[in-house]
Amino acid sequence: MRETSLRVKVKLPIATEIQKLEKKSLVSYIYIGPPTNTTLYGTESRIQLNDQYARVSDVPEFVTAEREARNEADRNLITTSLKVHKETKMGVVTDVKQELRKASAFRINYSTLKGIAK
Amino acid sequence: MRRAAPEINAGSMADIAFLLLIFFLVTTTMDVDSGITRRLPPPVDSPDNVKVKERNVLNVLVNKNNMLLVNGVPGDIRTLKDVAKEFMTPHYPDDPNYPEVEEQTIKFIGSFHSSKGVISLKNDRGTSYDTYIQVQNELARAFNEIKEELSVNKFGTKLSSLSKEKLEAINEAVPVRISEAEPENIGGN
């Protein structure tokens, strides 16, 4: 059912105050986490856009492409869902968030699981 | 004497299997994505410091060892919600230990003193994402509890059973003001 195959390991954090993401067609995904193939790519967290690894500088292009793929009317309603591995350092997440701000993709969703953290 | 074992009528087995298949088809839902939704602020060219009165700000700092500093005092994730909630609850008449209040006229609620408090969240590049989400979650919980209390107070019902207009009124009375500082390295890198 997944549209892209994951190249990074994403174990989501747990939260309680969550909202459901409505309108799946208006959601674009950014995955951040350690590569699944650690022998080849190491353990440092990587960004995955579509189905390949990307750098922080590739984010604006990705946002533009996602926007182009939607209807004119829906372009400002796109939510970017950040699927980030829980042990990732905030540095890379902050960088991606800064790029999203610059690219005017303001609506974001930190993807989490529902539950009570211990 | 040996008797033949009674046979089970298997004629309807196919029907039962088919029924089960239909049942599971109908009841299975695909997992929906959920998470904490936030709105990023528009980029600013020069991050000039907007003057906000010190009493209106609750500073939450998270360092690279995932330790919290709340208004200059070491904090704990377990008490963060209560601290944030107490801070953000509007105090009227004016109390210098809490943020200023501002009188507003809101539909359905009428005149209401809402807090001008802001929670400033700052984290290090080395903070773990998990901690960041926990902090965001606790802050969201604080706001939600304030909203819940206001809802029970003004409308006598839970937040989840409010009409859309009334929910908007509550959201206007209790604005979620979590400000994230422009990123910079803080301490110990």
Q: Is A90 part of a structural domain of the chain?
A: yes
Best B129, B143, B144, B184 member to test A by mutation, with max A CBs in 10 Å, is B129
| Domain extent listing, chain B | 54-180
**Residue B124 pLDDT > 60, yes or no?**
yes
Question: What is residue B132's DSSP assignment?
Answer: H
Best A19, A94, A96 member to test B by mutation, with max B CBs in 10 Å, is A94
Q: B65 to chain A: nearest residue by CA?
A: A89
* Burial classification of residue B47, based on how many CB atoms lie within 10 Å of its CB (0-12 exposed, 13-18 middle, 19 or more buried): exposed
pLDDT band at B4 (very low <50, low <70, confident <90, very high): confident
Average pLDDT, chain A: 88
Best B33, B39, B144 member to test A by mutation, with max A CBs in 10 Å, is B33
Name the domain count of chain A: 1
What is residue B188's predicted lDDT score, i.e. its pLDDT? 45
Q: How many angstroms away from the CA of B11 is the closest CA of chain A? A: 36
The answer to whether B63 faces chain A, any CB pair under 8 Å, is no
The answer to whether B91 faces chain A, any CB pair under 8 Å, is no
**Residue B10 pLDDT > 50, yes or no?**
yes
Contact call for B43 and A107, based on CB within 8 A = no
Model ipTM value: 0.89
Q: What is the CATH number of the domain that holds A87?
A: 3.30.420.270
pLDDT tens digits for range B20-69: 999 999 988 777 788 899 888 888 776 666 677 788 888 999 988 888 89
pLDDT tens digits for range A37-87: 888 888 888 999 988 899 999 999 999 999 998 888 888 889 999 999 989
Cβ-Cβ contacts under 8 Å for A44 (sequence gap 6 or more): A34
For residue A111, the chain B residues in CB contact (below 8 A) are 33-35
Q: For residue B126, give the nearest of A86, A44, A90 by alpha carbon.
A: A90
Domain that holds residue A77: 14-114
Q: Average of pLDDT values for B60-80?
A: 88
Q: B34 to chain A: nearest residue by CA?
A: A20
- If contacts are CB pairs under 8 Å, which of residues 107-146 in chain B contact chain A? 123-130, 132-134, 136-137, 140-141, 144
Contact call for B35 and A111, based on CB within 8 A = yes
Percent of chain B past pLDDT 70, that is, above it, reads 92
Best A112, A113, A114, A116 member to test B by mutation, with max B CBs in 10 Å, is A112
Q: Is A105 part of a structural domain of the chain?
A: yes
Q: Average of pLDDT values for B98-119?
A: 84
**Among candidates A16, A97, A112 on the partner chain, residue whose Cβ is nearest the Cβ of B40:** A97
Percent of chain A past pLDDT 90, that is, above it, reads 37
Question: What is residue A51's DSSP assignment?
Answer: T
Residue B18, SS3 per DSSP: helix
Cβ-Cβ contacts under 8 Å for A93 (sequence gap 6 or more): A32, A82, A84, B129, B132
Contact call for B39 and A114, based on CB within 8 A = no
Average pLDDT, chain B: 84
Q: For residue B60, give the nearest of B130, B131, B2 by alpha carbon.
A: B131
Strand blocks (E) in chain B: 34-39, 57-62, 68-70, 73-75, 101-106, 110-115, 118-123, 178-180
Give the integer Cα–Cα distance in Å for B86 and B71: 13
ω into B93 cis (within 30 of 0): yes
Q: Is A6 part of a structural domain of the chain?
A: no
A–B interface: beta-carbon pairs under 8 A: 114
Residue A103, SS3 per DSSP: coil
Q: Are strands B110-115 and B118-123 parallel, antiparallel or unpaired?
A: unpaired
Q: For residue A104, give the nearest of B183, B43, B181 by alpha carbon.
A: B43
Q: Is A1 part of a structural domain of the chain?
A: no
Q: A86 to chain B: nearest residue by CA?
A: B130
Q: Average of pLDDT values for B163-187?
A: 79
Give the integer Cα–Cα distance in Å for B115 and B102: 6
pLDDT tens digits for range B108-117: 888 888 888 8
Which has the higher per-residue pLDDT, A96 or B33?
A96
* Burial classification of residue B22, based on how many CB atoms lie within 10 Å of its CB (0-12 exposed, 13-18 middle, 19 or more buried): exposed
Contact call for A111 and B33, based on CB within 8 A = yes
Q: How many C-beta atoms surround the C-beta of residue A72 within 10 A?
A: 7
What is residue B189's predicted lDDT score, i.e. its pLDDT? 42
